[in-house]
Chain A
């Protein structure tokens, strides 16, 4: 099956469907914080039927002519999912396929893998319906992984090692810092310092902390890179050179023994 994009009618139908899901869950939560149980109870049989009908509807989308065949399988994590989609769309420049109508069609097709009642803890609309605004667009559970894999290649692992239905906090923390987002080498630095290669996941507690001064974690790296940026041309440096400049507080992570 080739990857497709929603037409206007299809896109409106998808947004309307997910808005209905969201409102139903909120109704069940009855003003309190949404729990996993609320999501399970809010995604009613009636909504499940509506989803099946929407998925089986004809004439709501059109094929992307140059897409390769997309195999829908059970993806182990967002990295596998993003890699698979990017490979299918590799004949397009990313800017040409960075369209909400495509991300949301994929969101619909893979809904049972990204919306898993009982396991998900949040149901914010931006996870399933791509948003126009810059930062929310990265929180889409299909677009976020695809963007980061397209931009950072295998170093996007730290942003996508999580289950397909989870939002990755590393991606959230990393992407909002312009210098980091744009400088690909810094994704490699984060992988080298903070990725547990044995467990195949980020080292716990490294993306953020209630104590932003906790030695050696990402908020400290962010501050250090900002300082280095004033005296060194980081764009011209490789990951090892940057890591070597880091002070003692990073030693624990510099000697990442999981590699």
Chain B
């Protein structure tokens, strides 16, 4: 007998995108000791949620801690709520909202809600990465063991995590050798993940990233020409590996604006290496 598989959960999707229809607005403000959250829930009546359904909001980090959900009352009594905590990182802070009936069945759901950040300057700004034009946003993290790592998941922009307390974020900005090493490894890894992992097959962020790196490398963005990562025997396809190497090299070995002048990171890196070698030879 044919087995029918359904992934329908019956949950209503809560609109989290900014705009007139937004049903949840979260404002996060970082003080010296804690992060202060103000949340406003405006549920659309079209969902037909019953008044007694409970509303829960949970704060979490993309890879790390999650707080116990806060009870925001019931659908019949929505409004503005505020609370605070001190053990999550504001830069990686996300929220999920759940509307729950008396049998603990989830009736409404929104995930990966990014708060609007305030108190970081004269204008409020949205969370790191997603809306910025930066190809690879950088964020400090105490959750990684090695000096840097890539955080990526489908539908989210990849983020370069650098180990906190090491001032790598600053070093990365000003030291071209560090930049070349980290960028080479990071872009290679992101491209490898994008090509090898099927969970990214429909990811629009992947398309955007590939567009950008191919454009950086001065290549035409022809997605049909990107080789499959695995061949029919499920072995790694050498053409895909070469493609990744070429795009990565194209990205690094290209003119960019750095400290107000046009530079090529790879060329500067090569010159640094040669100079270092000459200085050592002279000393000897």
Residues of A at the B interface (CB closer than 8 Å) are 95, 131-136, 178-179, 182, 230-237, 241
Q: Could you list 26 examples of A-B contacts with CB < 8 Å?
A: A133-B143, A134-B64, A134-B142, A134-B143, A136-B145, A178-B60, A178-B65, A178-B66, A179-B66, A182-B65, A182-B68, A230-B9, A230-B11, A231-B9, A231-B11, A231-B105, A231-B106, A232-B106, A233-B56, A233-B98, A233-B105, A234-B104, A235-B58, A235-B69, A236-B56, A241-B104
Task: Kindly list chain B residues whose C-beta atoms are within 8 Å of the C-beta of A133.
Answer: 142-145, 163
Q: How many A-B pairs with Cβ below 8 Å?
A: 53
Assembled-state Cα–Cα distance A233/B54 (Å): 10
Closest Cβ–Cβ distance, residue B91 to chain A (whole Å):
16
Closest Cβ–Cβ distance, residue A212 to chain B (whole Å):
18
Whether A236 and B143, one on each chain, are in contact in the complex, defined by CB atoms closer than 8 angstroms, is no
Whether B145 and A233, one on each chain, are in contact in the complex, defined by CB atoms closer than 8 angstroms, is no
Closest Cβ–Cβ distance, residue B63 to chain A (whole Å):
8
Closest B residue by C-beta to A182? B66
Assembled-state Cα–Cα distance A132/B69 (Å): 27
Task: Kindly list chain A residues whose C-beta atoms are within 8 Å of the C-beta of B143.
Answer: 133-135
Whether A135 and B145, one on each chain, are in contact in the complex, defined by CB atoms closer than 8 angstroms, is yes
Whether B69 and A232, one on each chain, are in contact in the complex, defined by CB atoms closer than 8 angstroms, is no
Closest Cβ–Cβ distance, residue B207 to chain A (whole Å):
27
Q: A136-B145, A231-B11, A237-B104 are in contact. Are A178 and B64 (CB under 8 A)?
A: yes
Q: A134-B64, A178-B65 are in contact. Are A235 and B56 (CB under 8 A)?
A: yes
Closest A residue by C-beta to B99? A233
Task: Kindly list chain A residues whose C-beta atoms are within 8 Å of the C-beta of B64.
Answer: 134, 178
Task: Kindly list chain A residues whose C-beta atoms are within 8 Å of the C-beta of B9.
Answer: 230-231
Q: A178-B66, A233-B56, A233-B98 are in contact. Are A132 and B142 (CB under 8 A)?
A: yes
Task: Kindly list chain A residues whose C-beta atoms are within 8 Å of the C-beta of B106.
Answer: 230-233
Task: Kindly list chain A residues whose C-beta atoms are within 8 Å of the C-beta of B198.
Answer: none
Q: Using a Cβ–Cβ cut-off of 8 Å, how many residues does chain B contribute to the interface with A? A: 26
Closest Cβ–Cβ distance, residue A144 to chain B (whole Å):
16
Main secondary structure of the interface of A (DSSP, over half): helix
Task: Kindly list chain A residues whose C-beta atoms are within 8 Å of the C-beta of B142.
Answer: 132-134
Assembled-state Cα–Cα distance A134/B11 (Å): 34
Closest Cβ–Cβ distance, residue B112 to chain A (whole Å):
14
Assembled-state Cα–Cα distance A224/B11 (Å): 18
Closest A residue by C-beta to B111? A230
8 nearest A-B residue pairs (beta carbon):
A133-B145, A233-B100, A134-B143, A233-B104, A182-B66, A236-B104, A231-B9, A232-B104
B window 21-78: CB within 8 A of A: 54, 56, 58, 60, 63-69
State whether the Cβ of B165 lies closer than 8 Å to any Cβ in chain A. yes
Task: Kindly list chain A residues whose C-beta atoms are within 8 Å of the C-beta of B104.
Answer: 232-234, 236-237, 241
Closest Cβ–Cβ distance, residue B275 to chain A (whole Å):
35
Closest A residue by C-beta to B64? A134
State whether the Cβ of B270 lies closer than 8 Å to any Cβ in chain A. no
Assembled-state Cα–Cα distance A95/B33 (Å): 13
Task: Kindly list chain A residues whose C-beta atoms are within 8 Å of the C-beta of B272.
Answer: none
Closest Cβ–Cβ distance, residue A185 to chain B (whole Å):
11
Assembled-state Cα–Cα distance A81/B30 (Å): 38
Closest B residue by C-beta to A235? B69
Task: Kindly list chain A residues whose C-beta atoms are within 8 Å of the C-beta of B145.
Answer: 131, 133, 135-136
Task: Kindly list chain A residues whose C-beta atoms are within 8 Å of the C-beta of B98.
Answer: 233
B window 76-121: CB within 8 A of A: 87, 98, 100, 104-106
Q: A131-B145, A230-B9 are in contact. Are A235 and B68 (CB under 8 A)?
A: yes
Question: Which residue of A95, A232, A236 contacts B87 across the interface (Cβ within 8 Å)?
Answer: A95
Task: Kindly list chain B residues whose C-beta atoms are within 8 Å of the C-beta of A179.
Answer: 66
Assembled-state Cα–Cα distance A135/B60 (Å): 17
Closest Cβ–Cβ distance, residue B58 to chain A (whole Å):
8
B window 167-205: CB within 8 A of A: none
Task: Kindly list chain A residues whose C-beta atoms are within 8 Å of the C-beta of B66.
Answer: 178-179, 182
Assembled-state Cα–Cα distance A48/B58 (Å): 50
Task: Kindly list chain B residues whose C-beta atoms are within 8 Å of the C-beta of A230.
Answer: 9, 11, 106
Assembled-state Cα–Cα distance A131/B63 (Å): 18
Task: Kindly list chain B residues whose C-beta atoms are within 8 Å of the C-beta of A136.
Answer: 145
Closest Cβ–Cβ distance, residue A241 to chain B (whole Å):
8
Assembled-state Cα–Cα distance A45/B68 (Å): 50
B window 110-161: CB within 8 A of A: 142-145
Closest Cβ–Cβ distance, residue A45 to chain B (whole Å):
34
Closest Cβ–Cβ distance, residue A49 to chain B (whole Å):
33
Assembled-state Cα–Cα distance A231/B103 (Å): 11
Assembled-state Cα–Cα distance A233/B70 (Å): 12
Assembled-state Cα–Cα distance A133/B65 (Å): 13
**Residue in B10, B69, B104 whose Cβ sees the most chain A Cβ within 10 Å:** B104
Task: Kindly list chain B residues whose C-beta atoms are within 8 Å of the C-beta of A135.
Answer: 143, 145
Assembled-state Cα–Cα distance A133/B64 (Å): 11
